């Protein structure tokens, strides 16, 4: 709407203020008069702590990007979109070490004219990278309105609960199998789940809830249970009669 210098922006990246939960997020730098995206995988080990600093790099890339299609067509025809290859070592489930080669779409920012980073509210950034994130967006904390996830007005505090699901929930199919239905989380502040735990239908979680099934134990949270500021540990089995 109000481009600097009166020239249209060809590439706009939404960034938001970095917190200690976002230290791995890519950030913007300026080099040779152009904006550049720097990802953590591109940072030498000696400088990783510096990269993670919330005081040195105050913003990170949300990956919400606005790009002129006419500019993409022009640069593509000129073969001028220059993207760095990111080398990312990974370990597969079987223990095999592999090298994953990636390009970050945001890295194309350096190829466009009059590029900008715009600092947006945190509400514009709602990542789903783990099943802990997935539980939040599937819950009654959020509703989908015109393609946008918005927090329920029934939640008294606008902060997002802290959710930590253990390794038994890492894979989506395991996560889905362990919830008969997604719990009511409108009044939840903190949830930690560890070990072999399942949830029945219509469970409510409020305040701080910690559920720990030690090795060899299993905990089945019964249908309709209301857990408010509770620590659940030991062994609790619910079997079909």
CA dist 127 and 146 (Å) reads: 18
Structural contact between residues 163 and 132, judged by C-beta atoms closer than 8 angstroms: yes
- Among the listed residues 130, 149, 148, 132, the one whose alpha carbon sits nearest the alpha carbon of residue 140: 149
Burial class (CB in 10 A: 0-12, 13-18, 19+), 193: buried
129 carries an active-site annotation: yes
- Among the listed residues 147, 55, 78, 65, the one whose alpha carbon sits nearest the alpha carbon of residue 106: 65
CA dist 138 and 5 (Å) reads: 43
Catalytic residue among 129, 154, 171, 201: 129
Tokens for 43, please give them. Answer: 């940072």
Q: Which residues are catalytic?
A: 129
């Amino acid at each position: 709407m109000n481009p600097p210098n009166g020239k249209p922006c060809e590439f706009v990246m939404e960034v938001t203020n970095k917190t200690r939960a976002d230290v791995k997020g890519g950030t913007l730098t300026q080099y040779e008069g152009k904006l550049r995206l720097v990802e953590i995988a591109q940072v030498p080990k000696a400088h990783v702590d510096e990269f993670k600093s919330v005081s040195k790099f105050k913003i990170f890339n949300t990956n919400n990007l606005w790009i002129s299609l006419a500019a993409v067509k022009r640069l593509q025809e000129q073969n001028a979109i220059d993207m760095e290859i990111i080398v990312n070592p990974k370990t597969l489930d079987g223990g095999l070490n592999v090298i994953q080669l990636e390009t970050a779409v945001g890295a194309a920012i350096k190829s466009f004219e009059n590029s900008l980073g715009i600092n947006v509210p945190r509400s514009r950034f709602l990542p789903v990278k783990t099943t802990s994130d997935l539980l939040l967006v599937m819950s009654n904390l959020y509703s989908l309105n015109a393609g946008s996830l918005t927090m329920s007005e029934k939640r008294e505090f606008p902060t997002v609960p802290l959710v930590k699901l253990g390794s038994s929930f890492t894979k989506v199919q395991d996560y889905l199998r362990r919830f008969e239905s997604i719990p009511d989380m409108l009044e939840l502040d903190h949830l930690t789940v560890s070990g072999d735990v399942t949830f029945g239908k219509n469970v409510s979680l409020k305040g701080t809830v910690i559920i720990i099934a030690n090795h060899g134990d299993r905990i089945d949270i019964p249908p309709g249970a209301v857990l408010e500021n509770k620590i659940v540990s030991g062994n609790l089995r619910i079997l079909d009669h």
